[in-house]
Amino acid sequence: MKTIDDLGDLRGKRVLVRSDLNVPLDGTTITDDGRVRAAVPTIRRLVDAGARVVVIAHLGRPKGAPEGKYSLAPVAARLGELLGTPVRLAEDVVGTSARETVAGLTDGEVALLENIRFDPRETSKVDAERSSLADDLAQLADAYVSDGFGVVHRKQASVYDIAKKLPSAVGGLVLSEVEALRRATEKPERPYAVVLGGSKVSDKLGVISNLLGKADRLLIGGGMVFTFLAAQGHPVGKSLLEEDQVETVKGYLAAAQAKGVEIVLPTDIVVADSFAADSPHDVVAADSIPAGRIGLDIGPESAELFRSKLLDARTIVWNGPMGVFEFPAFAAGTRAVAQALVDAGAQGAFSIVGGGDSAAAVRLLDFDEAAFGHISTGGGASLEFLEGKTLPGVAVLSSGRARD
């Protein structure tokens, strides 16, 4: 992949940067600015090079038309604070405001186009429609930099098609993400342990299938663990259960045994009366969850078990929390896994926190992000990489199809 260095002298050049600024909002307040902060180094590098920077991003899932609640206005303000320079927000995607905003930039200034998904062509399944939007975007710039790892698994106009229209390069964030994930998947230092959590087994079927041939250990927690427990014949009460995946999980358990991959499941579970922060709760054996109760975290014995399975690992990938970490009463399992990664890292292990809720948990629970080998900004993209899938936004930069 070509890097920013390969684009040559950028002073006075208009550079489109596809960033991932899809942050959680409470009204107009950003509750976790991790993705904005992650986007800053590449944008700042372009600013320092004298480029006229035009940032493209999305927020939420608008239905191909402007929606006030999905405006990037709060993001533009926060990005400007982090950069230490105002960020001009265009009022549209590629319309009059966008053209005038870009035309008004001087060297080293930054503009942000309004939510790219306000234009239905961005996510169209029709190649010609996406290409049409990419043509409009290309009229605004002289070069393109792909730096939104959270979207590189999408074949979208601002991710894939635009790279065919302009001299293109990979940004520092995407480059570091790909290098970290390759380190964990192509020739991982062993023992190689993978911790999977989150709500659903179905979200991670491809990852589990692929890793059964690569990892030494799979540690399973979060809501998805109850489908594993059910596959072993244990009751799960009112806990989250994907009944249609029980047979699939049975197959995974058998395959793991045949391949010598260790599957580590919780031995105890924190169960509650209901899904609520203040719900009465206690700890029960994982194979004896009472009817009418719901599992919301792995138990303390399990936390110690998971820790012991991680401390001697040399490569660790973690994707998905162990429980409802947003509720303090059910955050202990997630905290324990995070601390185990930190402690393993202090002993030389390389760890990846696989984006999404895991990355949010690291920040919410006040861990030092520098204590982890790599914190991914792309939950879906990192999962698809771990599945062994081709990421269109990376492939187009690697295949020679991107315009030189």
- Would you list which residues are annotated within the binding site for (2R)-3-phosphoglycerate? 35, 117, 154
Q: Choose the catalytic residue: 2, 44, 45, 200.
A: 200
Distance, in Å, from the CA atom of 132 to the CA atom of 370, rounded to the nearest integer, reads: 41
Task: Point out the catalytic residue in the list 197, 299, 354, 380.
Answer: 380
Q: Return the closest-CA partner of residue 316 out of 257, 270, 358.
A: 358
Of 35, 52, 217, 309, the active-site residue reads 35
Numbered residues of the known binding site: 20-22, 35, 58-61, 117, 154, 204, 295, 326, 355-358
| 380 is annotated as an active-site residue | yes
Selected catalytic residue, list 197, 323, 356, 373: 356
SS3 labels along 192-259: EEEEECCCCCHHHHHHHHHHCCCCCEEEECCCCHHHHHHHCCCCCCCCCCCHHHHHHHHHHHHHHHHH
Q: How many CB atoms lie within 10 A of CB 220?
A: 27
Q: Which two tokens stand for residue 234?
A: 């244990």
Binding residues for ATP: 204, 295, 326, 355-358
- Told to judge if 130 belongs to the known catalytic residues of this protein, a careful annotator would answer no
Q: Is 10 exposed, middle or buried (0-12, 13-18, 19+ CB in 10 A)?
A: buried
Helix, strand, coil content of the chain in percent (nearest 5):
40, 15, 40
Q: Which amino acid is at 169?
A: A
Taking each helix axis from N to C end, the angle separating 379-387 and 172-185, rounded to the nearest 10 degrees, works out to 40
Active site residues: 35, 200, 356, 380
